[in-house]
Amino acid sequence: MVKVASIDLGSNSTRLLIADITNGTLTTIYKEHQVTRMADKLSESKIISKESTNRVLKVLASYFKNINRYNIENIQIVGTAALRDAKNSQEITKLIEKKFGYEVDIVSGEEEGVLTSVGVLNSLGCLENFLIVDIGGRSTEFIYDYDKKIVSKSLNVGVVSLSELFFNELPPPEKSVLLAQEYIEDNLFESNIFDRRMLVGVAGTFTSLASIFLEQTQFNEKEIHLTELKNEDVFKINNKLLKLNEPQIITKYKGLDPKRAKTIQAGILLAKEIISKYNVNSIKVSNSDILEGLILKKY
């Protein structure tokens, strides 16, 4: 039995997993996520701001306090879209390495998708004809099986970038929503390969969607795992959310992380457009993703 940890430096949140790994079987000891908005204003400035960096460093400091309580043999830190895109990403990763003593591996969108698939498929078993969708802050990964191989495609659209482009005002005016829909449709992959597959949704947008659907008064990850939603459930939640401002979202949906209230409308709209375009009838939500994938690929 080996105790290990993985950290995901995402565009919208910074996440930690501490786990036992025995003969390829992963058992979660501790898991946490904090919304750190690393990609805040990145589209405009092309750099990760000092404020965003400080938020990430503060959360990492608390994570390493937790890590130090366990006899951890290996720690992996991965960076995704924000660190892929920012002009000052090397500066940020060097700062993290100097402060905490661990290197940050910035993965491509395709690598991110493959690692996510390892985590998802481990928790769901042998799936066929699936489409895993990971909606992030600045990118969305599409992972699917084709000709007995795992294929991963990355789309440069995410909840932070969409929110900055179209959701400055909440609730968003109808014109902004229509422009956002048009933008999403223009950017989604034209592919009938995705049609009518079983969609597995991972990461914050989908877990938040499941929390809203289950009417949770407190976020409960175990209850969310493998929750199934029909397309009409997603459409109803999307329509309700688009009528609310930020304080109303926080007040109405107690299970939602209040820091996600700024971006949840963009995320669920993106999920809705994906479901519509690829004729998906239902989705399953998975808590397992790149954090589990990082560990399982190594062990």
109 φ, ψ (degrees, to nearest 5): -60, -40
* Helix-helix angle 50-67:89-100, to 10 degrees: 30
Q: Maximum Cα–Cα distance for the chain, whole Å?
A: 55
274 vs 165: CA distance, rounded Å: 19
What distance in Å separates the CA atoms of residue 73 and residue 22, rounded to the nearest whole number?
13
Nearest-10 Cα torsion for 156, 120, 37, 152: -20
**Tens digit of each residue's pLDDT (9 = 90 or more) over 72-129:** 999 999 999 899 999 999 999 999 999 999 999 999 988 998 899 899 888 887 677 8
pLDDT score of 192: 82
Q: Which domain holds residue 81?
A: 2-109+294-298
| Nearest-angstrom CA–CA distance, 9 and 77 | 7
Task: Give domain status of residue 17, yes or no.
Answer: yes
CATH for 36:
3.30.420.40
What is the number of domains present in the chain?
Answer: 2
Residue 250 lies in a domain: yes
Radius of gyration of the chain (CA): 18
Q: What are the beta bridge partners of residue 30?
A: 18
Q: Are residues 168 and 246 in the same domain?
A: yes
Decide if 146 is inside a domain: yes
Assign residue 199 the CATH number of its domain: 3.30.420.150
* Same domain, yes or no: 228 and 199: yes
The per-residue pLDDT for 193 is 84
Residue 114 lies in a domain: no
- Residue 95 in any domain: the answer is yes
Q: What is the pLDDT along the chain (299 residues), one digit of tens a residue?
A: 899 999 999 988 999 999 999 988 899 999 999 999 999 988 889 999 999 999 999 999 999 999 999 989 999 999 998 999 999 999 999 999 999 999 999 999 889 988 998 998 888 876 778 899 999 888 899 999 888 888 888 898 999 899 999 999 999 999 999 999 999 999 999 878 888 888 999 988 999 999 999 999 999 888 999 999 999 999 999 999 999 999 999 999 999 989 899 999 999 999 999 999 998 878 999 988 899 999 998 88
Same-domain check for residues 272 and 125: yes
| pLDDT at residue 89 in the model | 94
Residues 138 and 88 in one domain: no
- Statement to judge: residues 134 and 206 lie in one domain: yes
Please report whether residue 214 resides in a domain: yes
pLDDT at residue 126, rounded to an integer: 67
Instruction: Give pTM, 2 decimals.
Output: 0.87
Provide the pLDDT for residue 133. Answer: 94
Domain identity same for 127 and 264? yes
CB 238 within 8 Å of CB 268: yes
Place of tokens 């997603």: 234
**DSSP secondary-structure letter at 13?**
E
Q: Give pLDDT, residue 148.
A: 82
Instruction: Report the DSSP pairing between strands 74-79 and 2-9.
Output: parallel
The answer on 195 and 169 residing in a single domain is: yes
| Contact indicator for 48, 89 with CB cutoff of 8 Å | yes
